[in-house]
């Protein structure tokens, strides 16, 4: 065997020659077998070993990143509960300089773990920008007459749309949005992989880039190699036996997880009230199960559930760690239409919602399109079919107390329904165990049409009697007012004679005699002369009123009436009984 000193003395060409000689002489003969006619067949072991070497390097590169784990991988590692798994869990997000790799379990085998290479992460983030996710709900169908009417109101051509409902989780891009005056305020035209559909804007949400990293650009690596690389990067030394133990426990945990529905159970009768009690919940904070308004109610509140096992059951999800506690629950109804409907799921983890839905699909049940308390939501079947009306007939609904119901909350005799337009007797919407009675006057809206204005909000003006005109307050309907120039007399004092009708004779200066003492010829001895401007009358006709003493009323223009100030001349004014709303508080229930 060549010594290290000998090898160090060789140049590059000599080293290469030596390597080729070693491969041909010692390695290839072990990798080649001779078949008939001298054919040489390469066994492929070297290629496999090389691929494993490259994969191992790739795993080591993962360990050099800021590692992010999926929730389900972390759950499996916690269940493995070995020193190796604990150390790997501690590594998440610590002291690394490059992008995350989003490690997750493999879907189809316990032998592999999946990841996204660092170099693809930023490109994938850009790819999901502007991509929306459908969260459930009803879209407008171009082949349904009423929907076509709404599309017309929105200005959307039905011929441009595809029929059918998008599936939960389908991704799309928003092409346009349209305001509407109906109960759904904004509709969005979206492109679902080339198919245009109109959905409520509230039923789509921005795709989470972090979640996208766990489904796009995935690669897989063997569990053992990943654990060794991660353990090595952690700085701690583990024996082969410890690694092997962790691998085996991981595979066992993966196998148990494959039976995802093993903790589900369907109960009936008094067991429903038992599992509604918060004492039987897994402790959690700010979850729909922990915050349920029915979590602390006495058992007799649930009589409508417990006394009807033929049509009502409860699906419960028991805790893996403590089977005496539950992590989620959902009512299960056998409907009058013949399908089984799983109501809203209450949970301790958001991932439970999808688990409940998958359990429903597995059993051929329908579930709510959105996991909320809206009674208008449709029910989705295992093949994507939808039902919009849900009816369940119970044996006896003449009870004094009821639980709060999310979906089929309207009681018509002994029939529960989600149809708000039905002539229901009670609405089971009380969180205190009661109910709301139907008001025949206002249909429980609390408001009735104003009888004074017939719902118009306006009524005949009481000031003008509906004419739109009212008497002028200045002239009291006469149409005339006193002339301000002559004070209503029609005449104005003569400025020349100051109203006397005559003036002092200029020739005799009012003495009646001339300078010689004789009678003044001009005034005939009177000392005054008649005023020529007023013909001796002392006044002249008023030019403003032409001697009438009156002019047209400045307020109404001489009409005697004017536009009604109460109704602005329309003849109808705001109704004083309903303040213009057209509705008043219901006299029966308000």
Whole-model pTM: value is: 0.52
Rounded to the nearest 5 percent, the helix, strand and coil shares of the chain are 25, 25, 50
Can you tell me the distance from the alpha carbon of 19 to that of 250, in angstroms, rounded to the nearest whole number?
A: 41
Specify the pLDDT at position 165. Answer: 85
Q: What is the mean pLDDT of residues 234-256?
A: 87
Q: What is the mean pLDDT of residues 492-511?
A: 85
Specify the pLDDT at position 332. Answer: 98
Residue 49, helix vs strand vs coil: helix
Q: Which residue has the higher pLDDT, 373 or 587?
A: 373
Give the number of other CB atoms < 10 A from CB of residue 380: 24
Residue 339 structure tokens? 């399908």
Angle subtended at Cα 346 by Cα 341 and Cα 348, rounded to the nearest 5 degrees: 145
Specify the pLDDT at position 273. Answer: 97
Of 377, 348, 381, nearest to 136 by C-alpha is 377
Q: pLDDT tens digits, residue range 555-572?
A: 888 888 888 888 888 888
Specify the pLDDT at position 512. Answer: 85
Burial of 500 (0-12, 13-18, 19+ CB in 10 A): middle
Q: What is the mean pLDDT of the chain?
A: 83
Confidence of residue 579 (pLDDT cuts 50, 70, 90): confident
Specify the pLDDT at position 12. Answer: 53
Percent of the chain with pLDDT over 90: 31
List the beta strands (DSSP E) in 312-412. Answer: 312-318, 326-334, 340-347, 366-368, 379-380, 386-387, 391-393, 410-412
> Which backbone phi and psi does 103 adopt, to 5 degrees?
-75, 140
Q: Within 13 Å of residue 50, how many CA atoms lie on the same side as its CB?
A: 4
Q: Which residue has the higher pLDDT, 120 or 262?
A: 262
Residue 93 structure tokens? 């997000």
Q: What is the mean pLDDT of residues 491-495?
A: 87
Specify the pLDDT at position 98. Answer: 37
Specify the pLDDT at position 267. Answer: 98
Give the number of other CB atoms < 10 A from CB of residue 155: 8
Range ranked top by mean pLDDT from 3-7, 65-69, 229-233, 359-363: 359-363
Query: Which single residue is written with the structure tokens 């104005």?
Result: 492
Specify the pLDDT at position 443. Answer: 67
Model confidence at 43: pLDDT above 50:
no
Of 526, 525, 496, 520, nearest to 507 by C-alpha is 520
List the beta strands (DSSP E) in 338-484. Answer: 340-347, 366-368, 379-380, 386-387, 391-393, 410-412, 415-417, 426-427, 436-437, 447-449, 458-460, 469-471, 480-482
Model confidence at 46: pLDDT above 70:
no
Of 6, 79, 454, 41, nearest to 254 by C-alpha is 79
Q: pLDDT tens digits, residue range 438-461?
A: 776 776 677 888 888 888 888 888
Can you tell me the distance from the alpha carbon of 45 to that of 47, in angstroms, rounded to the nearest whole number?
A: 5
List the beta strands (DSSP E) in 27-95. Answer: 32-34, 40-42
Model confidence at 507: pLDDT above 50:
yes
Burial of 448 (0-12, 13-18, 19+ CB in 10 A): buried
Query: Which single residue is written with the structure tokens 């009481």?
Result: 462
Specify the pLDDT at position 88. Answer: 87
By the 8 A CB rule, do 464 and 566 touch? Answer: yes
Instruction: Give the residue extent of every domain in the chain.
Output: 4-43, 52-127+213-258, 132-206, 264-437, 476-493+544-562
Specify the pLDDT at position 48. Answer: 46
Q: At how many degrees (to 10) do helices 45-62 and 223-233 cross?
A: 40
Residue 89 structure tokens? 């869990």
Q: What is the mean pLDDT of residues 298-314?
A: 96
Can you tell me the distance from the alpha carbon of 197 to that of 203, in angstroms, rounded to the nearest whole number?
A: 12
Residue 232 structure tokens? 């090595």
Q: What is the mean pLDDT of residues 59-74?
A: 71
């Amino acid at each position: 065997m060549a010594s290290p000193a000998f090898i160090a003395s060789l140049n590059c060409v000599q080293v290469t020659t030596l390597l080729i000689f070693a491969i041909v002489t010692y390695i290839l003969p072990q990798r080649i077998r001779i078949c008939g006619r001298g054919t040489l067949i390469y066994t492929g072991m070297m290629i496999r070993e090389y691929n494993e070497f490259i994969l191992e390097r790739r795993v080591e590169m993962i360990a050099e990143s800021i590692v992010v784990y999926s929730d389900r991988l972390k759950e499996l590692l916690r269940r493995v509960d070995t020193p190796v798994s604990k150390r790997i869990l501690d590594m998440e997000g610590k002291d690394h300089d490059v992008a995350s790799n989003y490690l997750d379990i493999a879907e189809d085998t316990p032998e592999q773990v999946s990841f996204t290479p660092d170099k693809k992460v930023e490109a994938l983030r850009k790819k999901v920008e502007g991509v929306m996710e459908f969260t459930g709900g009803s879209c407008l169908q171009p082949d349904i007459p009423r929907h076509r009417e709404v599309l017309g109101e929105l200005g959307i051509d039905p011929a441009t749309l595809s029929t059918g409902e998008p599936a939960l989780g389908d991704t799309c891009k928003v092409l346009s949005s349209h305001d509407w005056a109906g109960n759904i305020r904004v509709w969005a035209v979206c492109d679902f992989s080339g198919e245009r559909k109109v959905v409520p804007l509230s039923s789509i949400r921005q795709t989470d880039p972090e979640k996208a990293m766990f489904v796009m650009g995935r690669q897989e690596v063997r569990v053992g190699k990943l654990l060794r690389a991660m353990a090595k990067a952690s700085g701690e030394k583990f024996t082969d036996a410890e690694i092997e133990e962790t691998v085996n426990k991981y595979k066992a945990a993966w196998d148990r997880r494959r039976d995802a529905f093993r903790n589900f159970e369907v109960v009936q009768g008094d067991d429903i009230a038992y599992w509604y009690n918060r004492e039987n919940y897994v402790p959690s904070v700010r979850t729909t199960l922990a915050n349920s308004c029915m979590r602390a109610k006495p058992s007799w509140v649930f009589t409508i559930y417990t006394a009807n096992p033929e049509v009502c059951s409860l699906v419960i999800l028991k805790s893996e760690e403590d089977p005496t506690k539950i992590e989620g629950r959902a009512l299960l109804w056998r409907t009058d239409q013949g399908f089984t409907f799983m109501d809203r799921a209450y949970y301790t983890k958001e991932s439970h919602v999808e688990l409940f839905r998958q359990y429903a699909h597995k059993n051929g049940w329908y579930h709510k399109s959105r996991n909320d308390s809206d009674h208008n939501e449709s029910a989705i079947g295992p093949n994507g079919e939808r039902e919009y009306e849900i009816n369940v007939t119970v044996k006896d609904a003449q009870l004094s107390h009821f639980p709060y119901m999310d979906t089929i909350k309207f009681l018509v005799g002994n029939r529960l329904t989600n149809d708000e337009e039905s002539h229901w007797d009670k609405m089971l919407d009380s969180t205190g165990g009661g109910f709301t009675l139907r008001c025949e006057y206002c249909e429980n809206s609390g408001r009735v049409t104003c009888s004074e204005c017939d719902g118009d909000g306006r009524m005949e003006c009481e000031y003008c009697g509906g004419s739109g005109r009212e008497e002028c307050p200045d002239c009291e309907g006469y149409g005339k007012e006193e002339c301000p120039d002559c004070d209503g007399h029609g005449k104005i004092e003569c400025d020349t004679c100051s109203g006397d009708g005559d003036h002092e004779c200029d020739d005799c200066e009012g003495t009646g005699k001339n300078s010689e003492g004789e009678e003044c010829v001009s005034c005939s001895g009177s000392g005054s002369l008649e005023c020529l401007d007023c013909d001796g009358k002392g006044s002249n006709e008023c030019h403003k009123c032409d001697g009438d003493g009156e002019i047209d009323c400045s307020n109404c223009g001489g009409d005697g009436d004017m536009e009604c100030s109460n109704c602005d001349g329309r003849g109808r004014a705001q109704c004083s009984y309903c303040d213009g709303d057209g509705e008043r508080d219901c006299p029966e229930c308000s």
